[in-house]
């Protein structure tokens, strides 16, 4: 039987700009956190219930944080 990677079960969504380019990717993690991958591949974890950035030293614009929180709530 083929081994299944845990990431194959996670829900993801992409944020596009007005020209159709991906600006961020959201991944809903098993623990309920959302990982936001932006630009050059930097990953930032947030707590969507509290609206808090969990990655030390990272900053997420309010609009992107709001979108990630809404994504987590479905």
pTM (two decimals): 0.85
Residues 21/13/39/60 CA torsion (nearest 10 deg): 120
pLDDT digits (tens, 9 = 90+) for 24-66: 999 999 999 999 999 778 999 999 999 999 999 999 999 999 9
Provide the pLDDT for residue 60: 95
* pLDDT over threshold 80, residue 73: yes
| DSSP class of 9 | G
Where along the chain do its domains lie?
6-73
Per DSSP, the three-state class of 7 is helix
Provide the pLDDT for residue 16: 93
The CA radius of gyration of the chain, in Å to the nearest whole number, is: 13
Strands (E), the chain: 11-16, 22-28, 34-38, 42-47, 52-53
């Amino acid at each position: 039987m083929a081994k299944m990677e845990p990431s194959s079960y996670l829900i993801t969504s992409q944020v596009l700009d007005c020209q159709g380019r991906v600006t961020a990717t959201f991944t809903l993690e098993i623990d309920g956190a959302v990982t936001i991958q932006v630009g050059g591949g930097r990953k930032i974890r947030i707590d969507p219930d509290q609206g808090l950035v969990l990655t030390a030293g990272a900053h997420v614009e309010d609009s992107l944080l709001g979108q990630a929180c809404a994504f987590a709530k479905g």
